[in-house]
Amino acid sequence: MKPYPSLLLALGLAACGSEAVSTDAGPDDAGPGPVLTGPFGEPLAGITEEERAAFERGRALATRSWSPEDGLGPSFDASRCMDCHARPTVGGSAARYRDVVLAQIVRDGEPLFSSFGDAAVAFDLRHGLSRRRATPAAFGRRNPSPLYGVGLLATLPDEVILERVDPGDEDGDGISGRAGFEHGRLARYGRKAQVGALEDFVRVSAFSLLGLTSQPLSTPQRTALPSFEESAFVGWGSGGSLGDVDAVPDPELGAEALFDLVSFVMLLAAPEPEPRSTRADTGAQVFEAIGCASCHVPALTGRLGPVPLYSDLLLHDMGPGLAEDYRTGVASGAEFRTQPLWGVAAAGPHLHDGRADTLDEAIRWHGGEARAAKERYEALADGERGALIAFLESLGGRARPGSLPEGAPIPSGLGAPVPLSAPDLERFVAGRALFDRDLSPREGLGPLFNADSCRACHASPVLGGAGSLGVSALRQGIRQGDGSVRAPRAGPRLHRHRNPEPVGWQLPEPHPDADVFELRSAPPLFGAGLIERVPEAAIAAREDPDDLDGDGVRGVAHRLDDGRLGRFGHRAHLASIEDAVVDALTGDLGVTLGLESDADEVSDPEMSDVEVASLVFFVRSLASPPSRSVDAEGERVFGEIGCASCHVIFALEDGTPVPLYSDLLLHDVGGDVGVPAGNASGRQLRTAPLWGLASSAPYMHDGRASTVEAAVRRHAGEAARSAETFAALPVAEREALLRFLDAL
């Protein structure tokens, strides 16, 4: 390996402050032709029409929301591939709330390896919580890696990777990279270089995180994959059949769908680097001088030319600071594959477990074989470190505080604000930015949390919308002798994540007595400001707790202990938008407000009153879903079969109609007894508003209804008569009713 220059002054670091664009990439940067790089999420240039078609079909599959009827589950952690690969586009990385905890059973000091992944997924469609049958003793955590350019790794001949192996550190530079292997084949995929084929990588990810079963591709299909000339075999899988125990026939991910999904991953272009500034050029020289390039090799030469991945794809011991108990492949707990740096600035949070918020922090975490380079980095002058970071940022993409690009326009349809003055429109934009912003532990996230932004759970199809099944929250309860359920004293939330200190990466454990677990879907927020303005007297006037009119419907208002009337939340246990925002910030993000405190190291309160008010203003200003012409026949059926007994239109005091189609009352609609909230029992649920129904799947409080028709048929209890009448309707009338609901 190269010796390090002894004097950084020889690099001309006096130019660190200059931002002039370099027109000479230099001899070490003779990068690939345009065929290998491109905009995030786009395919390689020059592919065939057939490959482009497979890529587009695969991209559609990556963005698809899978339902239980499609094969999702029974255990799962996400409902779309893009749940874990969407930053900044489909195929990218993910925020912290999409981290995956890996759990491994250890016997006699040795881990029990699984061929199907060790993801400790959160949800189970049968029991609510995905409970493990044995207590794992080894844990790891993974922040999803971007997939851009990974297909190009298949163009690298084995010898190009193996020629850099130095397990005994024969050259004495302190770096002793070794290769990963799977089934005797060189492995180049995964944080631990534990997977040798992209087909296996795709199949195991789909199975372990979404519960989608599959069969290996056939030989003719593998031959038809993007070939990359002689290296096609590198993309081929070696795994067997993957099956599960749900009611959907296996394989749930069919052969054609798997082919398209693998093609999509294989054909994603590598991130397109920026034109180099003089400062970034200087940073590239610093990068080389302090030894970063010993492992983060700028390019490896494949059959299509130099692949600018900035990785040797070898395993290196990164020291005790980054080590974990979890083991996979041939790697020890402290060994990790050198992470490619192309597009690294846009891929935060950084490192295998997402612990680093910035590139500077990620570098400072390096230890073991990288300790010397880390110490040289720490000894640099501020300008030199800044130049190195500028170089890394030039490798493609930039970090964003959230999902929206700078200057993102305000929507004109769904997600638009109510009419606002110019100053209030600025407040709306500021609140939207807060709603979209990712929080980090250093800003107060956690220690227990379900999401790291408001947008994490409310973004489908736009900011402020509903959440997919994969971002559901979990509630836990304890069944009583009389059949009722009570929440644990510490509260019903069962969080999906916790920050590592001081307990490591283990999943938050349920209460030891909890035996009821309930999924809670994230509802859309459109029109919340109008719901807040519905007169309390109008809601109370619709109460009929004793069913005096004999229609079988016994709606009751949820009166809170402080006397206010609840109207938000699946059990109407929140009286105002401010209550709902505060409940989400403190309960789902772990942020302290006002006089609250928690056990992390961030000073309290972790969010100011001004910021909370900004979020409240944004939610309150979201307009109700745009109205469309309704199906008159469907509206007639809606009223005749009794839906309008609970799903009603209100009016404000000035007569303005509020077509939310909800009485905001609590009803017993049958089903399992759930976890209570406030003064609402586990059998009572608020009538869900129906406006915007077409864009807010999945349905019901637990998201278990994938379609509107399934949601209607699931009604029981007070709604049983309407559901039975719906089922008995002629097909034409049922279809008219569904068209009416779709247009709300």
Measured CA to CA, the distance from residue 583 to residue 515 in angstroms comes to 24
Measured CA to CA, the distance from residue 666 to residue 567 in angstroms comes to 9
Measured CA to CA, the distance from residue 195 to residue 178 in angstroms comes to 15
Measured CA to CA, the distance from residue 554 to residue 668 in angstroms comes to 8
Measured CA to CA, the distance from residue 523 to residue 448 in angstroms comes to 22
Q: What is the DSSP letter of 242?
A: B
- Domain assignment present for residue 429? The answer is no
pLDDT for 506: 65
Strands 270-271 and 37-38: parallel
Measured CA to CA, the distance from residue 371 to residue 640 in angstroms comes to 74
Measured CA to CA, the distance from residue 6 to residue 506 in angstroms comes to 44
DSSP of 361-387, one letter per residue? HHHHT--GGGHHHHHHHHHS-HHHHHH
Exposed/middle/buried for 417, CB within 10 Å: 0-12, 13-18, 19+?
buried
Measured CA to CA, the distance from residue 152 to residue 666 in angstroms comes to 56
Bridge partners, 187 (sequence order): 180
Helix (H) or strand (E) holding 282: helix 278-289
pLDDT for 25: 40
Distance of alpha carbon 591 from the chain centroid: 19
Q: What is the DSSP letter of 211?
A: -
Contact 232, 225 (CB under 8 A): yes
| Intervals of the chain under pLDDT 70 | 1-34, 111-117, 128-136, 227-239, 500-506
Taking alpha carbons only, the member of 431, 506, 58, 3 closest to residue 266 is 58
Phi, psi of 531 (to 5 degrees): -60, -40
- Domain assignment present for residue 121? The answer is no
- Domain assignment present for residue 614? The answer is yes
Measured CA to CA, the distance from residue 378 to residue 333 in angstroms comes to 25
Measured CA to CA, the distance from residue 362 to residue 382 in angstroms comes to 16
In the numeric block, the tokens 């090799």 are attached to 297
Counts for the chain of helices (H) and strands (E), in that order = 18, 26
Contact 54, 260 (CB under 8 A): yes
Largest CA distance in the chain: 91
Secondary structure string (H, E, C) spanning 556-602: ECEECCCCCEECECCCCCECCHHHHHHHHHHHHCCCCCCCCCCCCCC
Contact 704, 655 (CB under 8 A): no
Cis before 698? omega within 30 = yes
Measured CA to CA, the distance from residue 611 to residue 559 in angstroms comes to 28
Q: What is the DSSP letter of 466?
A: B
Measured CA to CA, the distance from residue 428 to residue 618 in angstroms comes to 5
One-letter amino acid of 407: G
Helix (H) or strand (E) holding 388: helix 382-393
- Domain assignment present for residue 106? The answer is no
pLDDT in tens, 180-230: 999 889 999 999 999 999 999 999 999 999 999 999 999 999 888 886 544
Report the number of distinct structural domains present in the chain: 1
Residues in CB range of 675: below 8 A, 6 or more apart: 475, 476, 477, 485, 487, 492, 516, 518, 682
Residues in CB range of 256: below 8 A, 6 or more apart: none
Contact 314, 179 (CB under 8 A): yes
Q: What is the DSSP letter of 462?
A: S
Reading the block at residue 427, the tokens are: 């407040």
Reading the block at residue 611, the tokens are: 């910021």
Count CB neighbours of 424 within 10 A: 14
Residues in CB range of 152: below 8 A, 6 or more apart: 36, 228, 270, 302, 304, 307, 309
| Dihedral of alpha carbons 426, 617, 451, 207, sign | negative
Reading the block at residue 552, the tokens are: 């079988």
Measured CA to CA, the distance from residue 474 to residue 496 in angstroms comes to 8
- Domain assignment present for residue 292? The answer is no
- Domain assignment present for residue 29? The answer is no
Distance of alpha carbon 277 from the chain centroid: 34
Measured CA to CA, the distance from residue 573 to residue 570 in angstroms comes to 8
- Give the structural domain span for 607: 441-742
- Domain assignment present for residue 600? The answer is yes
Bridge partners, 680 (sequence order): 677
Exposed/middle/buried for 538, CB within 10 Å: 0-12, 13-18, 19+?
middle
Q: Read off the pTM.
A: 0.91
Bridge partners, 315 (sequence order): 178, 337
In the numeric block, the tokens 């005994």 are attached to 168
Measured CA to CA, the distance from residue 253 to residue 210 in angstroms comes to 11
- Domain assignment present for residue 726? The answer is yes
